[in-house]
Amino acid sequence: MSQGRPLRGFIAGTGGYLPARSVSNDELAAEKGLDTTDSWIVERTGIRRRHFAAPGETASAMGAAACRAALAQAGAGAADVDAVIVATATPDSAFPSTAARIQGALGVTQGFAFDIAAACTGFIYALSIADAMLRTGQARGILVVGTEIYSRILDWSDRGTCVLFGDGAGALFLRVATEAETSRGLLSTHLHADGRHGDILQVDGGAGSTGGTGVVRMAGREVFKHAVTKLAAAVDEALAAHGLDHDAVAWLVPHQANIRIIEAMGRKLHLPMDRVVVTVDRHANTSAASIPLALAEATRDGRIAEGDLVLMEAIGGGLTWGAALARF
């Protein structure tokens, strides 16, 4: 490594996992007795299907499967993992952390593991933490995971919310870039939060709460309004940090919440939709898992190639939002 050159997190492997059961809009409406139709859901969200975890399937089991795929692609094993950082709103338990359970499932016996809670922005937050740890030498190889089972925290009588979410897990294996890789990897991450707007997207109850039902509540129009403006600002911030303009971006990999928001961000970057990775139609909103799932798909099918500049962005409950810029 050149003297004085900062270490950088290099994306060595990607992996994803989706539960076996895939449910169409019509199947969901019939099963849950919802007063909705496939056309209504598709028109407003772009969602056609989603995956649901099987009874007994856990966030840690799904996350471990995604991690195994990422490690295999990177040609790495348990001995190469110094840390597991998991973003999830649906942990197996209050403690031990889902990250610790994944660490155990993978046979990793060194290093450390912890969860973070930033809702749909969680993966960007986790990526930022991992990159900082690699740059400071606190770790040499880190698994960054988003894993969610939202099907267990939905109000099935709320058709405006319950149709939006699905289950799944995605993971990246980050390691310190070599001398030959220092132009690639994570360039920067940009994180934000504004707790004044927390109530417009929340789970109303939890282990430390005095009440609530413990299901997702969302003021959809308010969230949409914040999403478009805040994500646009985060995108501009990420590009400005490196003196780049929109033309430099090869791929946008957005949080997969709603096709209208995704299309708005594509227009913001002057990117045609064939340069935007879209999985929301098949996966629905998998929260913290959506970006790593999309990355796994697009790197493995060859769309994202070596040298491509990739912009990731997300917004979620908190409100939290952020962006990350990486060269693959």
Query: Which pLDDT score is estimated for 178?
Result: 84
Element housing 45 (H / E): helix 38-45
25 part of the active site: no
By the 8 A CB rule, do 146 and 152 touch?
no
Closest CA to 310 of 296, 324, 289, 291: 324
Buried-state track 196-218, b at ≥16 Cβ within 10 A, e below 16: ebeebbbbeeeeeeeeeeebbbb
Strand partners, 193: 320
3-state secondary structure (DSSP) of residue 48: coil
Give the predicted TM-score (pTM) of the model. 0.96
Q: Residue 313 is which amino acid?
A: E
Please list, in sequence order, all residues whose beta carbon lies within 8 angstroms of the beta carbon of residue 36, skipping any fewer than 6 positions away: 25, 29, 159, 163
Look at the alpha carbons of 146, 271, 297, 240 in this order and tell me if their dihedral is positive or negative.
negative
Query: Which pLDDT score is estimated for 6?
Result: 59
3-state secondary structure (DSSP) of residue 232: helix
| 9-181 placed in CATH 3.40.47.10 | yes
| Polymer length in residues for the chain | 328
Q: Residue 14 is which amino acid?
A: T
Tokens of 200: 């417009």
**DSSP state, 213?**
-
Tokens of 264: 């708005």
Residue 227 C-beta-side C-alpha neighbours within 13 Å: 28
Given the residues 120, 226, 258, 283, the one annotated as active site: 120
Given the residues 197, 226, 255, 283, the one annotated as active site: 255
By the 8 A CB rule, do 23 and 52 touch?
yes
By the 8 A CB rule, do 275 and 242 touch?
no
Tokens of 21: 């059961």
Q: Would 9-181 and 185-327 be classified into the same CATH topology?
A: yes
CATH classification code of 185-327: 3.40.47.10
Average pLDDT, 10 consecutive residues per value, the chain (328 residues): 64 98 98 96 97 98 98 98 98 97 98 98 98 95 98 96 98 91 91 97 87 90 93 96 95 97 93 96 98 98 97 97 97
Closest CA to 150 of 51, 9, 17: 51
Q: How far apart are the first and last CA of the chain?
A: 19
Query: Which pLDDT score is estimated for 7?
Result: 78
Dist. CA 114–CA 109, nearest whole Å: 14
120 part of the active site: yes
**Three-point CA angle 244, 276, 60, nearest 5°:** 105
Domain regions of the chain by residue span: 9-181, 185-327
